[in-house]
Chains A and B, each alone.
Chain A
Amino acid sequence: MTSLAAQLGRIVGDAHVIARATQLLVYRSDALPGLQRAPARAVFPGTRDELIEVVRVLAAAGAPFVSRGAGTGLSGGALADDITLLGLHRLKRILALDPIARTATVEPGVVNAALTRAGAPHRLHYAPDPSSQTACTIGGNIAENAGGPHCLKYGVTLDHAIRATVVLPSGEVVILDRGDVARDDGTQGGYDLLGAFVGSEGCFGVVVDVTVRLTPDPERVCTLLADFTRVRDAADATSRIIAAGIMPAALELMDQPTIEAVESSVYAAGYPRDAAAVLLIEVDGAAAGLDDDVWAVERLCRAAGARTVRVAHDAAERARLWLGRKKAFGAMGRVAPHLVVQDAVVPRSMLAELLDDIAAIGDRHRVRICNVFHAGDGNLHPNIPYNAHNADESARVHAAMTEIMTRCIAAGGTITGEHGVGLDKLPYMEQLFTADTLDAMCSLRAVFDPERRANPGKVVPVRACREWHGVASTRHGARAGETR
């Protein structure tokens, strides 16, 4: 019996299969290096046919696997614990771009920003813009139903996905759509199966290609930077803007520690270092009437206590303001070598109160919390930079994080807005959902992946699934059938 690695090598070429431990080190984690799992092997198909063949070989061997794009995820979702890691980054072709229909069909490894670049000559862009957009892949975006600052107005990944070709873990290739447009065979309707697939965190199958919507560039864009001497006031301004009926394209909040990290980096954007918080607000749309919105936003910020409100005067300044925001997470490395990142969503009206509570939790545990988040939709990202080599500090950081998440859940919030559950937030699932709900999730998954071989052990804690009781762990259960 040949080893699984050798079988995979015959499909993709030996150069694209990794089985040596030293070369698998970098594939042990995503962008949350605090979580690490060593894959048994990694395979990188370079074509659609290779991908399908790889999944079929894995199916024949009964081998579990984990899909991975660029490894920029923030929930440990793409970690393979002693099983096969299926890297999709080589599948990076834009297969079609139709400027008339305003759609593009892409392979899963296409980088998010590359798609926007490809649309630029047609004055089109791909709207979902996670902060990692220069590196993250569309396949990963589909798996996580990724968001981003501009999703406040334009919607998240699901709102831009039209149709996907998916290879199910069984090796069967299917086309999933939302039931809202006529198919090639003239049929239309049925369940929104694509809706079920987007955000399934790699547990339902692997994207072979996906057709997404491209969005026309707005006629005019206006970016404002408002700075505040109290974080609370910035949160208050957020509520006032939304309550006034204005729909900004984006509404982002950064607090002082975050500003400090960004301003020390190559992405320094000119945020005032002495501000307690800044709001980055973008309004866009038809040129007519936009000035009224800009004026209203400025007035509302000042009413909430903004010290200064500045409007970017050209595209270069706007780009600089945004780059600072988008690279803020990476810039945290300037504060301390390690970082925990959270992704809680809370009712927007409670932002001010929760930010106070989060600050109090941080003080109590003596940890430094950096807040940088999508204020407009109440999607908090409390980040805690720390040194993982310090056991005491690590314990305090994790205690603080758990307390923050519990507080957000108690406020009627949820544990992820866009990063996914992955491995990191698995412990909160039973806090958030009833056994019946978790069981229903397991049943849905069984439709796509009855053998539970795609990204096992993620999203829904195994013990929560009644029908799976008796299986000690997916990893253990699956190994019996795996060819090694």
Chain B
Amino acid sequence: MNTLAPLQRARAGLDSCVHCGFCLPACPTYLALEDENDSPRGRLLLMGALLDGSVNPDDPAVRRHLDQCLGCRGCETACPSGVPYGQLLEATRESLVTHRPLPLVARLVLRLFATEWALRSVLAIARLIRWSGIAALLARLLPARLAMPFAMLASSARPAPASYDARGDGARGTVSLLTGCVMEGLFTDVNRATERTLTVNGWKMRVTADQRCCGALHAHAGDAVMARALARANIAAFERSGAEVVVLNSAGCGAMCREYGHLLADDSAWADRATAFGAKVRDVHQLLASAGPAVRAGADERHPRLGTPVATRVAYDAPCHLQHAQRIVDAPLAVLQAVSGINLVPLADSDQCCGSAGIFNLLLPDVAERVLAPKLSRIVESGAEIVATGNPGCLMQIGGGLCLSGSAVTTRHPVELLDETYARAERPR
């Protein structure tokens, strides 16, 4: 059996690379590790070498360079030839896991995300550790490497949730939120804010039962079998709920859901359903921005009478899977511009990865830390008080990094900030 079959099927994508090197400055691991083997051009070359047999799939150096890819896909928006790098990486990892299983930690985490009751329990315990203050305490006391997971958890705590009676005419259509594992487990308030802001802007929310993890973590790590199983479950669940639009507020999950068609392309029973599902997927910022005038009018009409809002400096950091994978660049900025009273400050290199990348920061904390370091410096230089970003991994990686560095800057989802604006507008003076 040819264990490289998945990569073999994706081979045409490799042939588009002309070696121009334009991807190098777009690659966070090349910038951090300074070796072209840790660049898109280098990794594509290693993939080609795996296929033509000139390198061995068991070569530890080869595996390390491929493992060290964040999968941020920043190279895709830099590549003039349109090399489908993300698909090639996943095909490579799928091929390599047949040679050597994933590390134990990775297997445990992936299994956890695919097992509903266990995931729910673990997230409940995590909330307890966060609520009790233990997370924040350990983040302070433990040495940096061990402290990071607790700092990340502590940073996911939200301020008191906004409360107001969200009303809308529902005229824009019916949408259903893919709630997501970490979003619903640790960022529950962001999910509720998502529902309220969409309602205010004219969407009718519908709940979809029996949702599962989107499978992104599994697909990125090479566990395509599990990713496909989860995808099928979600497709079926959303078909049952009859939602016209599937909305997500997590960039990583959104990118995965859009690509269900590719993931299940070889499954004749599901390929068409998967493609249809992918076509219904929207990021929450897209929906809010498309409501355009409603968002702005809402903000404008409601706010001038509110007194002087606190002028908070907010910087937007683009989640890679929003900017590079879904190519959504302007919509989150439009949402932030609709938030009254904030001063949007530019963040240099906001299109560069923060090093979160799913479970990457658990598996390769050293590399993740080196990728995060310049991000934290740029944030400090920007003078922002809040970093807004629309992905749970990024919220926690940047949040945890800021927490450990002793910074007072916090991370928020853009939708939370909009939600607070609406809440303030409702509040009597």
Query: Interface residues, chain A, CB within 8 Å of chain B?
Result: 16, 18, 20, 22-23, 25-27, 29-33, 44, 46, 70-72, 89-90, 111, 113-114, 132, 134-136, 262, 264-267, 327-334, 337-339
In the complex, chain A residues whose CB is within 8 Å of the CB of B65: 23
**What would 6 more interface pairs be, CB under 8 Å, given A25-B46, A327-B80?**
A22-B55, A26-B39, A26-B45, A135-B25, A333-B82, A334-B82
Cross-chain contact of B62 among A18, A22, A332, A339 (Cβ < 8 A): A22
B80→A26 contact, CB < 8 A? no
Taking the closest CB of chain A, its distance from the CB of B346, in whole angstroms, is 12
Given A22-B61, A25-B45, A25-B55, residue A329 in contact with residue B80 (CB < 8 A): yes
Asked if B80 contacts A134 (CB within 8 A), the reply is no
**Cα A331 to Cα B20 with chains together (Å):** 9
Whether, in the assembled complex, B98 has its beta carbon less than 8 Å from a beta carbon of chain A, the answer is no
Cβ proximity bits B1-20 to A, threshold 8 Å, 1 near / 0 not: 00000000000000111111
B42 within 8 A of A: yes
Shortest beta-carbon distance from A138 to chain B in Å: 13
Contacts of B78 in A (CB 8 A): 134
The 4 closest A-B pairs by CB, nearest first: A333-B81, A330-B80, A337-B15, A327-B80
Query: Most chain-A CB neighbours within 10 Å: which of B22, B59, B62?
Result: B22
The smallest C-beta distance from B175 to any residue of chain A, in angstroms, reads 29
Residue-wise interface mask of B (92-134) relative to A, using a CB-CB cutoff of 8 A (1 in contact, 0 not): 0000000000000000000000000000000000000000000
A23-B61, A44-B35, A266-B77 in contact; A339/B18 too (CB < 8 A)? yes
Q: How many residues of B contact A (CB 8 A)?
A: 36
B292: min CB distance to chain A, Å: 19
A103 to chain B, nearest CB (A): 23
Which residues of B, 54-108, contact A by the 8 Å Cβ criterion? 54-56, 59, 61-62, 65, 76-83
A332→B81 contact, CB < 8 A: yes
**CB pairs A–B below 8 angstroms (23 shown):** A18-B35, A22-B61, A23-B35, A23-B37, A23-B61, A23-B65, A25-B54, A26-B37, A31-B18, A31-B20, A90-B34, A132-B20, A134-B25, A134-B78, A265-B80, A265-B81, A266-B76, A266-B79, A327-B80, A329-B20, A330-B79, A333-B15, A333-B17
B347 within 8 A of A: no
Q: Is the CB of A267 within 8 A of B80?
A: yes
Bound-state Cα–Cα, A352 to B81, Å: 29
CB distance from A394 to the nearest CB of B (A): 15
What separation, in Å, do the CA atoms of A198 and B76 have in the docked complex? 34
State the CA gap A175–B349 with chains docked (Å).
35
* Residue B21 interfacial (CB < 8 Å): yes
Take A25-B55, A70-B24, A265-B80 as given contacts and tell me if A330 and B42 are in contact as well, using a CB distance cutoff of 8 Å: no
Q: Which residues of A contact B18 (CB under 8 A)?
A: 31, 33, 329-330, 332-333, 337-339
Bound CA–CA A71/B22 (angstroms): 10
Residues 18-48 of B contacting A (Cβ, < 8 Å) = 18-25, 34-37, 39, 41-42, 45-46
CA distance A20 to B39 in the complex (A): 17
- The one of B16, B21, B82 that contacts A132, using a Cβ cutoff of 8 Å: B21
Query: A337 to B76, alpha carbons, bound, how many Å?
Result: 17
Chain B residues lying within 8 Å of A16, measured Cβ to Cβ, are: 34-35
Q: Does B146 contact A (CB under 8 A)?
A: no
**Chain B nearest Cβ from A311, distance in angstroms:** 25
**Alpha-carbon distance between A32 and B20 when the two chains are bound, in angstroms:** 8
CB distance from B139 to the nearest CB of A (A): 29
State whether A22 touches B59 (Cβ < 8 A). yes
Measured in the bound complex, the distance between the Cα atoms of B23 and A25 in whole Å is 17
